């Protein structure tokens, strides 16, 4: 038993029965309990409440005077299995070359794929574990990880096997997404259909038979896959019971949203460019809009996702890091929170709901994670002494995390 007492504020306390994403006014409200205790038994939250009814003792006691306790982050969109960073492309962009131009010349995702194809499963695992540990130290308790830097049968399977091994090596809860349709390899440029057929007829059956993926993703974009191609791939995924979480509307609005809702996507991710009609579609299908503000920040893209308009239309907004070597080399959810407040004009409360509960819903782990409730897994962040909740996203770049507790283990 671990007892945390004298907690200045317990953030995100919600009834365990609630299982739907927060939208509209609900997203703007953050339930808080002040001057509280919380009790952990094994890997679960056993009890919490006001200090007046705090239990007298426990095996381990933590005095949280002046500190806040909140649920660990649920980072529902990452690409953390990769071979190497791409800082040379960062320098090219400073000199004026665009992300799309770099990709068109065989850089970008194809650059990462070439490097990953030459690495062994265990080399990739070593790098990925380090990134998961870094995420955990920054308060992440659950993350979705995508393939998509393999782009051959062998290397896509290699990535998904790394993700499967990660699942058993860490306290961080992990979901795997198959993103074979991340880019068309150069050798398939003149015969795109053959690459799509490789995804559908060779990769998917093995991935499904070995149960290597929880979701399917497609990069639906002018520089990647068309709407018709996206639909074919999602259709094939559906036959194996893989629900979509898709990359769309990063640079162009071209029908990706329509395709995503048609195949029952849990979330549509990026949305830097999004029109009114598309927002209405999302609202009508109760699809989560996952915004990744560090990607346009890092690419210095003037387009930012219309978070306020989405929330005004009662569309649930989740926030994630998109951690990847090309467009978002940061695994920091606290930084995403600050950027969401600064650039997307989300309030601290809306942001926290997006980073925890709605992130949990975007990877379907909300029965166990995403809020503080009795019986949920004890995935928690204990802050250093802080003046208020709003101080947390305000103090960007400051490490205000004192400890993370995952599955009842203190780190
Ligand atoms: O989410 N947009 C597509 N995929 C990644 C970037 C991948 C890369 O450049 O390596 C993203 O931004
Ligand atoms: Fe991404």
Please identify which residue in the block is written with the tokens 């942001």. 351
Residue 357 has pLDDT above 80, yes or no: yes
What is residue 20's DSSP assignment? S
What's the token pair of residue 351? Answer: 């942001």
327 close to ligand 1 (CB < 6 Angstrom) = yes
Whether ligand 1 lies within 6 angstroms of the CB of 250 is answered as yes
pLDDT of residue 67: 98
The whole-number pLDDT of residue 15 equals: 87
- Helix axis angle, 153-169 relative to 109-117, nearest 10°? 80
| 255 close to 227: Cβ distance less than 8 angstroms | yes
CA-nearest residue for atom 8, ligand 1, is 326
- 338 CA to centre of own chain: 16
Region 46-67 average pLDDT: 95
pLDDT of residue 18: 81
C-alpha 385/C-alpha 355 separation (Å) is 21
Is the predicted pLDDT of residue 297 greater than 80, yes or no? yes
If pLDDT is split at 50, 70 and 90, which confidence band does 56 have?
A: confident
Instruction: Please tell me if the CB atom of residue 248 comes closer than 6 angstroms to any atom of ligand 1.
Output: no
Model pLDDT, residue 97:
96
| CA–centroid distance, residue 292 to ligand 2 (Å) | 8
The predicted model scores a pTM of: 0.98
Q: Quick one: pLDDT at residue 93?
A: 97
Average pLDDT over residues 208-220: 98
Instruction: Quote the pLDDT of residue 406.
Output: 98
- Give the mean pLDDT of 199-208: 98
Atom of ligand 1 nearest to the CA of 99: 9
Distance 81 CA to ligand 2 centre (A): 12
Residue 238's H or E segment, with its range, is helix 227-239
Residue nearest atom 3 in ligand 1 by C-alpha distance: 219
> From the CB of 219, is ligand 1 less than 6 Å away?
yes
State pLDDT tens for residues 134-149: 999 999 999 999 999 9
- Please report the DSSP string for 163-179 in residue order: HHHHHHH-SSEEEEEEE
Q: Residue 57 has what pLDDT?
A: 86
CB atoms within 10 A of CB 19: 12
Q: How confident is the model at residue 16 (pLDDT cuts 50, 70, 90)?
A: confident
HSE of 40, CA atoms in CB hemisphere, 13 A: 23
**Ligand 1, closest atom to CA 149?**
10
pLDDT given at position 103? 93
Closest ligand, as measured to the CA of 267: 2
Establish whether residue 230 lines the binding site of ligand 1, counting it when its CB lies within 6 angstroms of any ligand atom. no
Q: Has residue 114 got a pLDDT over 90? A: yes
| Structure tokens belonging to residue 188 | 């398939």
Mean pLDDT of 199-224: 98
Measured in Å, residue 86 CA sits from the centre of ligand 1 at 12
Query: How much is the pLDDT for 259?
Result: 98
Residue 360 has pLDDT above 80, yes or no: yes
Averaged pLDDT for residues 106-125 = 97
Residue 17 has pLDDT above 90, yes or no: no
Distance from the alpha carbon of residue 185 to the mean position of ligand 1, in angstroms: 15
């Amino acid at each position: 038993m671990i007892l945390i007492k004298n907690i200045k504020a317990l953030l995100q306390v919600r009834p365990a029965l609630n299982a739907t994403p927060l939208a509209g006014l609900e997203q703007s409200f953050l339930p808080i309990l002040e001057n509280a205790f919380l009790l952990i038994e094994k890997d679960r939250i056993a009890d919490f409440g006001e200090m007046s009814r705090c239990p007298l003792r426990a095996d381990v006691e933590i005095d949280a005077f002046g500190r806040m306790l909140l649920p660990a982050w649920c980072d529902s969109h990452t690409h953390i299995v990769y071979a190497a960073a791409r800082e040379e492309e960062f320098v090219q962009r400073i000199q004026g070359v665009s992300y799309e131009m770099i990709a068109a010349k065989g850089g970008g995702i194809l650059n990462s794929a070439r490097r990953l194809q030459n690495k062994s499963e265990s080399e990739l695992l070593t790098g990925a574990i380090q990134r998961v540990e870094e995420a955990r130290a920054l308060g992440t308790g659950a993350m979705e990880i995508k393939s998509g830097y393999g782009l051959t049968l062998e290397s896509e399977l290699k990535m998904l096997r790394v993700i499967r091994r990660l699942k058993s090596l860490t306290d961080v809860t992990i979901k795997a997404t198959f993103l074979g349709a991340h880019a068309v390899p150069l050798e398939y440029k003149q015969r795109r259909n053959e690459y799509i057929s490789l995804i559908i007829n060779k990769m998917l059956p093995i991935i499904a038979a070995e149960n290597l993926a929880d979701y399917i993703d497609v990069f639906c974009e002018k520089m990647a896959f068309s709407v018709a191609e996206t639909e074919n791939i999602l259709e094939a995924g559906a036959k194996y019971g893989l629900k979509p979480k898709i990359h769309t509307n990063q640079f162009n609005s071209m029908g990706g949203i329509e395709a995503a809702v048609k195949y029952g996507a849990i979330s549509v991710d990026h949305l830097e460019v999004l029109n009114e009609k598309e927002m209405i579609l999302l609202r009508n299908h109760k699809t989560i809009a996952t915004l990744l503000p560090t990607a346009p920040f890092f690419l210095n893209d003037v387009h930012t996702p219309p978070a306020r308009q989405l929330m005004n239309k009662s569309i649930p907004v989740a926030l994630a890091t998109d951690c990847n070597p090309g467009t978002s080399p940061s695994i920091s959810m606290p930084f995403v929170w600050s950027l969401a407040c600064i650039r997307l004009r989300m309030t601290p409360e809306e942001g926290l709901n997006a980073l925890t509960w709605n992130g949990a819903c975007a990877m379907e782990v909300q029965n166990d994670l995403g809020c503080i409730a009795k019986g949920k897994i004890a995935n928690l962040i204990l802050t250093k002494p802080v003046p208020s909740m709003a101080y947390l996203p305000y103090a960007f770049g400051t490490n205000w995390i004192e400890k993370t507790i995952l599955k009842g283990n203190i780190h």
